[in-house]
Structure 1
Amino acid sequence: MAEARALAAGYLDWLARERRAAANTVEAYGLDLRDFLAFLTGHLGEEPDLAALAALRPADIRAFLAARANAGAGNATRARQLAAIRGFLRHLARTCGLSPLAIANIRGPRAKPPVPRALTPEQAKEVAARTGSIHQPGHAESPAEQAARDTALFTLLYGCGLRIAEALALDVRDAPLPGSQAALRVTGKGGKQRLVPVLPAVREAIAAYLVERGGAPPEAPLFRGTRGARLDPAVAQRAMRHYRRLAGLPEHATPHALRHSFATHLLGGGADLRAIQELLGHASLSTTQRYTRVDAAALLETWRRAHPRAG
């Protein structure tokens, strides 16, 4: 399997470097391909090489998916695993001349996308404004700088609907500051850029953080960690987790829930779905349409609480 593992490693490296796939995607695909190659070793009776991969047929892929289903893998997991295999074999077709017959006419299980879980407007405002006020014990950072940074970061996530990776990729030169009306240029998935308007509250929070932080060159990371490097997403997630436990907020109060809240609250306020799609950087309108289900659920809950005959 050494050759197959090397081929898979080459594909994952290409995925990360050329396609700029998210680190979580690369890691998940790596685990999926490891499972697939291990299955093929037992299924074919020997460790697969390039010739064995070239000889695969749709029945072999279906056998793998069936085995994963029997092991308890859900539709979403198997759909992702098929996507990893499809991408891998297509990569081999481009780089090694392999004919990807095995993936012809195979449709994966349809995974029903989960309904995004948003916070209430009050909860989202509280998280954005107050998370930074809770100092996390054991941190070597200045408590004042950490507080200002976390407040700025979470205010930005809720105020602009950014993914946490998008926010943490910003440099000091990108910082939206008071006195400017310029939109924030954000680089999203696949390197696609979009412009996002910035609320005064976001500009003020970021300005306060930069004052607390002190001078920094334009090319430095906007949000920095203890040693001055770009802030790790896990640190931001830990800060949110620490605060929500102290504040009694629900478990779905995460940094990404602020992005969901941004979209849900805009939709509830009458914003156009196409406009929300552009602000979020969604490639497909169908992805944005998930928020209509959230809004409908909120309306139904309001009806149940308010209508005299709902009980």
Structure 2
Amino acid sequence: MTAATASDDLAERFLSMLAAERGAAANTLAAYRRDLEAARQVLGDVAGADVQALEGLGSAWSSLAASSLARRCSALRQFYGFLIDEGLRADDPSGGLPRPRTLRPLPRLLSHDEVGRFLACADEEAAGERPEAVRLLVLLELLYGSGLRATELVSLPLASVPRDAPFLHVTGKGGQQRMVPVSTRSRAALSRWLALRKGTSRFLFPSSGASGHLTRVRLFQLLRELAARADIDPTRVSPHVLRHAFATHLLEGGADLRVLQMLLGHADVATTQIYTHVDGARLVALVNSRHPLAGAQKAL
């Protein structure tokens, strides 16, 4: 077996670990596999590469966008960490990897007032108990009230609807399951929808299409159409924007970052930290009012 072949075998073991222990989704595993293959084309033996070999990746990948380079370096960094954990390498060569500077863009955000108008419009349209309008109200309530991802929402099985406990059972990325709270408003809207919902589909939001449930594309369209009727710029609205508003507004209300991580289904709290872009004045006020030394000057 050549060194390159052995390296490929180790890469597959690494990907298997990601799937088994971290619940990595199929798309994530495919991306990691492509990144490791790109490294193999330059290095040959990826697993046995030293610091000097990795330093050469900067010039080999100089045409890549900073975000693509950062992703490849992250994949390699985790691969070498896996080799060390498994006792297959004693040293960590990842210090030789390029260090691209990337700025992660902040998602768009709706204000409290805009979300209020959005919900008020959906509520008004659902007053006549038209099934499509009530369904849209429920979709909006769950996006903003529970912070669900679009795919999680449209694929909710009917069995996930709460009976006695005010929680939804959600299957997120990588098949990871979590429980998210359902507000009193959302539960009331859900009850209205269940009374109007027809058919025997196993999905909460059934569709006549091949997927069996409402599609992400159709959800996106419905939200933008509602935004226009609520006098909100449709280009600023998407399922993710409402999930982002859920997270940001909870943090502004004092929610703990770790709790928010659990509610959003993030594997790493670093992903959740993007939602902490609250204004500087509020952060200063928070430190001044909550820090143990905040009242020390007054006591002197």
TM-score (norm 1): 0.65
**Contact 2:224/2:234 (CA < 8 Å) preserved in 1?**
no
* SS of match in other structure, 1:294: coil
Q: Which residue of 1 aligns with 2:48?
A: 55
Matched, 1:73 2:57: no
Structure 1 residue 208 displacement after superposition: 3.2
Pick the aligned partner of 2:235 from 251, 262, 274.
Answer: 251
Q: Would you say the 8 A contact 1:176–1:206 is kept in 2? A: no
Measure the CA separation in 2 of the matches of 1:187 and 1:147: 26
- Determine the C-alpha separation between the residues in 2 that align with 1:285 and 1:158: 20
1:56 aligned partner, one-letter code: A
Give the aligned partner of residue 289 of structure 2: none
Cα pair distance change 1:20/1:250, threshold 3 Å: same
Q: Secondary structure at the match of 2:29?
A: helix
- Of 51, 57, 72, which aligns to 1:64? 57
Which residue matches 2:204? 222
Aligned-residue offset at 1:159: 0.5
Q: Mind listing any 5+ residue stretches in structure 2 that lack a counterpart?
A: 285-300
How far apart, in 2, do the equivalents of 1:133 and 1:22 lie? 39
Measured in 2, the distance between the counterparts of 1:133 and 1:85 equals: 52
- CA-to-aligned-CA distance 1:36-65 (integer Å, 9 cap, x gap): 344x1xxx6xxx4xxx33432233333224
Q: Does the CA contact (< 8 Å) of 2:146 and 2:246 recur in 1? A: yes
Task: For residue 119 of structure 1, report the CA deviation from its aligned partner.
Answer: 0.7
Letter in 1 for 2:111: T
| Whole-Å separation in 2 of the counterparts to 1:206 and 1:151 | 9
1:232 and 1:18 map into 2 onto residues whose CA distance is: 30
TM-score (norm 2): 0.67
Structure 2 residue 222 is matched with structure 1 residue 205 = no
CA contact (8 A) 1:165 1:233 kept: yes
CA shift for structure 1 position 120: 1.3
How many correspondences in the alignment? 273
* Aligned residue number for residue 167 of structure 1: 153
Q: CA RMSD in A?
A: 4.3
- The answer (yes or no) to whether the contact 1:119–1:261 under 8 Å persists in 2 is yes
Instruction: Encode CA deviations 1:120-157: one digit per residue, 9 max, x unaligned.
Output: 123334445657999xxxxxxxxx66554443223201
Distance 2:141 2:110 in 1: 14
- The 2-side partners of 1:33 and 1:80 are apart by 11
Unaligned runs of 5+ in 1: 135-143, 301-311
Letter in 1 for 2:203: P
Q: What is the alpha-carbon distance in structure 1 between the residues aligned to residue 20 and residue 124 of structure 2?
A: 38
Amino acid at match of 2:216: P
Query: 1:270, 1:291 → 2: CA distance?
Result: 13
How many Å apart are 1:89 and its aligned residue? 5.6
Give me the whole-angstrom Cα distance separating, in 2, the residues matched to 1:21 and 1:284: 12
Taking a change above 3 Å as real, the CA distance of residues 286 and 62 of structure 1, as seen in their structure-2 partners, is same
Selected match of 1:83 from 68, 74, 80: 74
Q: How does 1:166-185 map to 2 (within 5 A)?
A: 166-176=152-162, 180-185=164-169
Kept in 1, the 8 Å contact 2:54–2:94? The answer is no
Kindly provide the amino acid, as one letter, of the partner of residue 197 in structure 1.
P
CA pair 249-78 structure 1, distance change in 2 beyond 3 A: same
Q: What is the CA distance between 1:173 and its match in structure 2?
A: 1.2
